Structure 1
Amino acid sequence: MKKNFSNNSEYINRELSWIEFNKRVLNVSENPDTPLFERLKFVAITSSNFDEFFMVRVGSLNDQVNAGFNQKDPSGMTPLEQIENIFIYAKKLIDRQYKAFNDIQKELLGHNLKFASVEELSEEQRDYLQRYYIEKVYPVLTPILVDKRIQSPLVFNKSLNVGVLLENEKHEKFFGTVQVPSVLGRLVEVPGEGDMREFVSLEEIIKLNLEALFSGHRVVSSSCYRITRNADLTLDEEGAEDLLETIEESIKLRKWGAVVKLEVESGVDEELRSQLVDLFELSGDYVVDINGYIDLSFLMKFTGMQGYEQFKYKREEFQMHRAFKSDEDIFRIISKEDVLLHHPFESFDPVLKLVESAAKDKNVLAIKQVLYRVSGNSPIVDALVKAAESGKQVTVLVELKARFDEENNINWARRLEKAGCHVIYGIVGLKTHCKILLVVRMEETGIKRYVHLGTGNYNDDTAKLYTDIGYFTCNPQYGSDASRLFNMLSGHSKLENMYKLSSAPIDMRRKFERLIDREISNAQAGKKSRIACKLNSLVDYKMIKKLYEASNAGVKVDLVIRGICCLVPNIKDQSENITVRSIVGRYLEHSRIYYFYNDGDEEVFISSADWMTRNLDRRVELLVPVEDEESVEKLKNIIEINLKDNVNAKSMSSDGRYMKFKGGDKTLDSQKYFQERSVKENSIDKKLFKPKYSGINIG
């Protein structure tokens, strides 16, 4: 009998699942085995993650509340209930974040590094700060006094400010504010005694000088504060005459979105707190009290100090895949075999080399590529510009709607257009998120197409920090599919009759459903069945229902999900055959791999897409079957080792919480394993190499 999966208790709320993910990020900073500066980095990342979460997710929920939208999500909560729960759980996690930071500070003291308060400084140090203030800080400050003429001061999104309650000679009270200038460093080092290095925050230096800054007024109280605004941009693409200009205008509006969170220092004067709450039209529930420096993202820059390598991860040498170690022409290398790279353990350089070689090669006729997020000084963009300037046909889809990269992508788009590239901006209503590069080359036997397909962006910076998969092939069927995809993107033609690739939003969802249905049928027929997937997020409720159906049929389902997971595992008669684990470590887990046992005729795919509704229905994505034996075994091994990780991995329980693995004689850090394996494998002569992966144990 088919089970009805409609009970709200069968889904975990997306937003609370994300907070659980950010907790796992913070866990790295709480781990004493993590180097000290790396612990500070993860404290900073936790702050940055929260900023984006509140700007986008809470901003969107806030819009729903203001529009009177009260429909419950699949977990059973209305938008307002979700916001209320978000603040309850977020405040708890923020308190924990500051405890972690305070614990790290105590350890840093033992290494002669100190975040000092002004009260702890000597007279000489305070004199130094006063000179620093007069010479460097005061000239860039803009104090604002709020009176009847200025009802609402200009307070920028995510800017740090000092709010001041002032009193004049008539004992009238006013609110004043001054922005802590972001053009200056957040920390100022003061000369110390002996080996101790002491740092004071810029806001504390400003607070020391408020009486002079607001001369003629008495400072009653002061407190740092920071607001987060709704940055969930909505675009009318249909009505936009110029998409670039429309997005540029919407970026400006980000600064003035509705306030969704106010951070204030703990112990702030109640009258000043009330002024801030009224100023930004908030309820007290939207206020977060901070026990320490507001906005710890500045710690990322602090950890870049030279001379403290013992407090950082050992710098790893990313290996060149053995196929690309020779000086042989890259087109000949790819012609001989498909090659699968596992970043960052295997270098991203071959991807750069393919674009750069294509730009120079006189036999290359055309280069086509999708750019979603690229680095600040992108060598790929440089190569595409050179290719266009040399007369090659260069087509680049630049996704202008890549959130928080819009401005960067607009600049790249204009540069590419100026060089003579054919720049396209995708399809109205859809983001183009697939990762694909096509090089068309004239050879002795005729036209040949070289394709690179990946799970991550063409960004040489993040390729050193994210785990991703890249796949090179000149298989003509993949080449044909790539050409059809680009024709669809540039000419808005119908995408059909693909040989190998599946695409969203056209047929990827149906493809996944068929693959899962096949495992269900095999299980019901008494055959072995297995699904194992590595992805970033599982949110789509149709996919979750399908996985519940597979579990009930007896299919073993193992999921490695870094971030959000709305599926509830380990529930009898629902998901007892499903396991979920998350890996958060030195590198950001970003690759998407989908494995289906298929009664022994295994199929493995890589993809740009997670199992989220936006990926399956509102984005252009690709699902790529990987077929050559060595690459298949390599992907299977990645999943297998991820499933054995008991250092960076945590297992999800049926209440949505994540628990560390207990016991076991051997520890396995998957990221460390892949780094060591990459060194070992890529030092082997290609002629002697044979795959030695153990594969997934079906059992």
Structure 2
Amino acid sequence: MTEITESLRILPPLDAVEFSASPSPMASLPARYFNRELSWLAFNQRVLAEATNEHYPLLERLRFLSISGNNLDEFLMVRVAGFAGQVRRQIEEISIDGQTPSQTLAAIHDKVIELEAIQQAAWKDLKTLLAEAGVRVVGDDKLDAGRETWLVDYFVESILPVITPQAIDPAHPFPFVTNQGIGVLFSLTREADDAPVMEMVLIPAALPRFVRIPGDEAAWISIEDLICRHAEVIFPGFHVHGHGVFRILRDSDIELEEDAEDLVRYYRTAIQRRRRGMVIVLQLQGKFDPAAEELLRTQLGLDKALIMKTEGLIGFSGLAAICDEDRPELKFEPYSPRYPERILEHDGDCFAAIREKDIVIQHPYESFEVVIDFLRQAARDPDVIAIKQTLYRAGKQSAVISALIQAAEAGKSVTAVVELKARFDEEQNLLWASQLERAGVQVIYGFVDWKTHAKVSMVVRREAEGYRTYCHFGTGNYHPITARIYTDLSYFTADPAFGRDVGRLFNFITGYVEPKGAELLAISPISLRARLYACIEAEIANARAGKPAQIWAKLNSLTDPALIDRLYAASSAGVEIYLVVRGICCLRPGIEGLSENIEVKSIIGRFLEHCRIWAFANDSELPNRDARVFITSADGMSRNLDRRVEVMVPIRTKTVHDQILSQVMLANLLDTEQSWLLSPDGTYARTPRGDTPFNVHRYFMTNPSLSGRGASLASGRKVPKLSLRRGNI
């Protein structure tokens, strides 16, 4: 039977809590918050800094450069596009730091240009180091005869038939350039009559961004350099004077119209419209011809767009292709996640293991395959009668979708909540929804105004004692690929109270039946914010009573002003607060009278920190067995608390409670090798490594965590005990 910590049975009644007033005299000053967009750019700068981390293998450093490029592209296509739209429409909504959209946009543009310069410098260094290690990236470099011949043949056979040169003159309309599209403008003279000609070659998205040139020594060439290198082949009878490479980014956000009657039809058309969004960034490479630049400015209809000029590479996200080079010594040592021993002890029977005691799995150190097996077993088990599942991002090759289809085809009642509003996954989710419906799955698209972001599965099984509900709660998506690199928690339970609450949750999503009387779960946008506030207020009351009062939290982002103000109030009351916020953090720590008891760190490393955890001391110093511990799908953002369906799950089982609080959370606080500390002025600095450096990723790769160990804990190597002293972070 599941072991329950007594003090965790009852949380403070929400209607009995009096919330604190403004935290300090600074409460009305915008300076108490950092700018959200600039904080995100600071996060991406920390990601970019890993490209210069000498402790990492070269191809992993290149991967971080690629990730920083992809991150920046998405930021520009969504966030910057939004601000540009506000400026065009003369919307003067003030941000939480007191800036107008035009002021924010100007500050973003300055920072983006600064980041791009850092990217170029990192690329220049990495290119040299990679060449020394035998991985060359060539441009117009002279190659040996064999490779030169191969390049010409490859270009003629594989590239030339695909590209379409187009003259730019009154007889030829300016072509449409797709989002993230790359093109080359050539300045030519026709040899027959010495007439000047301008030609454009748009690079089809189907072509590889970088081409591997065969040979023992790795050599790669970008598609734009390959085309420029063979300009004479494209334009026989012309003299080539020069060329300029450009790239554009378009507004890629999808704004849902309030009167949308059919979400599926709306998103299918919206995806098409997104491909033709306004240009918000124009990148120019090399010594771009002024006339060609003016042509692009005019034809692309630039309005409030950012124009970036560089002598280096454009489109850093494309470097991911080179990271796949088969050079193991230039990459992280491969890591194979373990499968939970306790499930193996039950001969792989997930239901038997969960029935014995709740289990928490920490990905990627423990295999996501156990989540897949949970669903596969449910699909095959004749005693399972119903499966309900939320799907936010499931990936392109999803074993989760296959399991749900298998279950439906076996005659089980299967319900899937597919979120169409998952940005950049809308098209894939529409495809999954169609396949699920064809298999007989009841597909629900959730709310028009809110995204369903909760990560929940429930399986109803017929057993000797009656029907039993098995639940899975995740802090991350049901995505087998990202589960290999995102750190997330999967919590399995057969606790009947959780089963009843999850049933209420699905009825809320599928039938708009408000989940009144939830026993354990806090659900946004109904009760999650209030539950957090109640727990914070309880710590404030303890601090004022002279009792130990602490809050630990691990989040991806913290931007909600009201939640930040609650934490400020707690700090002012004497509550010690440790926050691990990987990305955006608008809270300003270390300000006397406001936040002197708050410390904030960000962890950037081999794995992407993604799980969300809250821990409240509850009368004793953390970590302690009576602490209130929660895992959640929600970040500390207004959208998560007010405009999304999220869940916050109290952890009541002692072993699970111990792993999450005394292992996962504590190890994050102790990390010194991958951590950055946030200063009151908004800058981040690497944590001093100290005499005994601690790496949270290495720790969990080499020390299996507590839950799911089963009998192996009795005979195997114990997990090292961690301890925290103030000042560790």
Q: Give the TM-score, by structure 1 length.
A: 0.95
Residue 246 of structure 2 is aligned to residue 225 of structure 1: yes
1:30-67 CA deviation, whole Å, 9 max, x = no partner?
01110111111111101100110001101111111111
Once the two structures are overlaid, the 10-residue window that deviates more, 268-277 or 330-339, is 268-277
Residue in structure 2 matched with residue 26 of structure 1 by the alignment: 48
Match of 2:459 among 431, 435, 439: 439
Give the alignment of 1:281-680 within 5 angstroms: 281-282=301-302, 286-306=306-326, 308-326=327-345, 327=347, 329-600=349-620, 601-636=626-661, 637-662=663-688, 664-678=690-704
Match of 1:185 among 208, 218, 223: 208
Distance across 1 between alignment mates of 2:631 and 2:454: 11
Residue in structure 1 matched with residue 13 of structure 2 by the alignment: none
**3-state secondary structure, aligned to 1:118:** coil
Q: Residue 43 and residue 687 in structure 1: after superposition, are their counterparts in 2 closer, same or farther (change >3 A)?
A: closer
1:586-615 CA deviation, whole Å, 9 max, x = no partner?
011000000001213410000000000110
Residue in structure 2 matched with residue 3 of structure 1 by the alignment: 24
Distance across 2 between alignment mates of 1:697 and 1:422: 52
Q: Residue 529 and residue 279 in structure 1: after superposition, are their counterparts in 2 closer, same or farther (change >3 A)?
A: same
Superposed displacement of residue 130, structure 1? 2.5
Residue in structure 2 matched with residue 236 of structure 1 by the alignment: 257
Distance across 2 between alignment mates of 1:603 and 1:684: 24
Distance across 2 between alignment mates of 1:324 and 1:304: 34
Superposed displacement of residue 101, structure 1? 1.5
Amino acid corresponding to residue 316 of structure 1 in structure 2:
Y
Identity percentage over the alignment? Answer: 38
Superposed displacement of residue 74, structure 1? 1.3
Distance across 2 between alignment mates of 1:39 and 1:257: 33
Distance across 2 between alignment mates of 1:474 and 1:691: 26
Residue in structure 1 matched with residue 71 of structure 2 by the alignment: 49
Superposed displacement of residue 693, structure 1? 4.7
1:135-186 CA deviation, whole Å, 9 max, x = no partner?
2211111112232344431100001111234456887766432112332333
Match of 2:199 among 164, 167, 176: 176
Distance across 1 between alignment mates of 2:258 and 2:392: 18
Q: Residue 315 and residue 692 in structure 1: after superposition, are their counterparts in 2 closer, same or farther (change >3 A)?
A: closer
Distance across 1 between alignment mates of 2:332 and 2:370: 25
Kept after mapping to 2: 8 A contact 1:537/1:565: yes
**3-state secondary structure, aligned to 1:236:** coil
Once the two structures are overlaid, the 10-residue window that deviates more, 171-180 or 549-558, is 171-180
Kept after mapping to 2: 8 A contact 1:222/1:272: no
Superposed displacement of residue 107, structure 1? 1.4
Kept after mapping to 1: 8 A contact 2:475/2:633: yes
Distance across 2 between alignment mates of 1:694 and 1:198: 46
Match of 1:85 among 107, 132, 142: 107
Q: Residue 212 and residue 108 in structure 1: after superposition, are their counterparts in 2 closer, same or farther (change >3 A)?
A: closer
Kept after mapping to 1: 8 A contact 2:23/2:572: no
Once the two structures are overlaid, the 10-residue window that deviates more, 199-208 or 526-535, is 199-208
Superposed displacement of residue 683, structure 1? 6.5
Match of 1:109 among 131, 145, 153: 131
Superposed displacement of residue 132, structure 1? 2.2
Superposed displacement of residue 190, structure 1? 4.2
Residue in structure 1 matched with residue 86 of structure 2 by the alignment: 64
Distance across 1 between alignment mates of 2:693 and 2:514: 51
**3-state secondary structure, aligned to 2:703:** helix
Q: Residue 57 and residue 134 in structure 1: after superposition, are their counterparts in 2 closer, same or farther (change >3 A)?
A: same
Distance across 2 between alignment mates of 1:299 and 1:548: 42
Distance across 2 between alignment mates of 1:353 and 1:335: 16
Superposed displacement of residue 320, structure 1? 1.3
Q: Residue 347 and residue 124 in structure 1: after superposition, are their counterparts in 2 closer, same or farther (change >3 A)?
A: closer
Distance across 2 between alignment mates of 1:51 and 1:507: 35
**3-state secondary structure, aligned to 1:662:** coil
Distance across 1 between alignment mates of 2:598 and 2:706: 34
Distance across 1 between alignment mates of 2:710 and 2:502: 33
Q: Residue 439 and residue 552 in structure 1: after superposition, are their counterparts in 2 closer, same or farther (change >3 A)?
A: same
Amino acid corresponding to residue 381 of structure 1 in structure 2:
I
Q: Residue 675 and residue 212 in structure 1: after superposition, are their counterparts in 2 closer, same or farther (change >3 A)?
A: closer
Q: Residue 134 and residue 451 in structure 1: after superposition, are their counterparts in 2 closer, same or farther (change >3 A)?
A: same
Distance across 1 between alignment mates of 2:719 and 2:293: 64
Amino acid corresponding to residue 255 of structure 1 in structure 2:
R
Structure 1's unaligned 5+ residue stretches are none
1:531-554 CA deviation, whole Å, 9 max, x = no partner?
110000001111111111111111
Kept after mapping to 2: 8 A contact 1:221/1:272: no
Give the alignment of 1:245-264 within 5 angstroms: 245-264=265-284
What RMSD, in angstroms, separates the aligned Cα atoms of the two structures?
Answer: 2.2
Kept after mapping to 1: 8 A contact 2:380/2:407: yes
**3-state secondary structure, aligned to 2:470:** strand
Superposed displacement of residue 400, structure 1? 1.0
Q: Residue 218 and residue 557 in structure 1: after superposition, are their counterparts in 2 closer, same or farther (change >3 A)?
A: same
Amino acid corresponding to residue 528 of structure 2 in structure 1:
M
Amino acid corresponding to residue 491 of structure 2 in structure 1:
Y
**3-state secondary structure, aligned to 2:174:** coil
Distance across 2 between alignment mates of 1:550 and 1:682: 35
Kept after mapping to 2: 8 A contact 1:355/1:383: yes
Kept after mapping to 1: 8 A contact 2:359/2:708: no
Amino acid corresponding to residue 367 of structure 1 in structure 2:
I
Residue in structure 2 matched with residue 16 of structure 1 by the alignment: 38
Superposed displacement of residue 91, structure 1? 1.2
Distance across 1 between alignment mates of 2:369 and 2:214: 44
Amino acid corresponding to residue 344 of structure 2 in structure 1:
K
Q: Residue 284 and residue 67 in structure 1: after superposition, are their counterparts in 2 closer, same or farther (change >3 A)?
A: closer
Once the two structures are overlaid, the 10-residue window that deviates more, 127-136 or 534-543, is 127-136
Residue in structure 1 matched with residue 19 of structure 2 by the alignment: none
Once the two structures are overlaid, the 10-residue window that deviates more, 179-188 or 463-472, is 179-188
Q: Residue 72 and residue 533 in structure 1: after superposition, are their counterparts in 2 closer, same or farther (change >3 A)?
A: same
Once the two structures are overlaid, the 10-residue window that deviates more, 688-697 or 473-482, is 688-697
Q: Residue 186 and residue 149 in structure 1: after superposition, are their counterparts in 2 closer, same or farther (change >3 A)?
A: same
Amino acid corresponding to residue 655 of structure 2 in structure 1:
E
Kept after mapping to 2: 8 A contact 1:175/1:275: no
Once the two structures are overlaid, the 10-residue window that deviates more, 200-209 or 687-696, is 687-696
Corresponding residue pairs, total: 695
**3-state secondary structure, aligned to 2:85:** helix
**3-state secondary structure, aligned to 1:549:** helix
Distance across 1 between alignment mates of 2:228 and 2:208: 16
1:416-440 CA deviation, whole Å, 9 max, x = no partner?
1111111100012000000100000
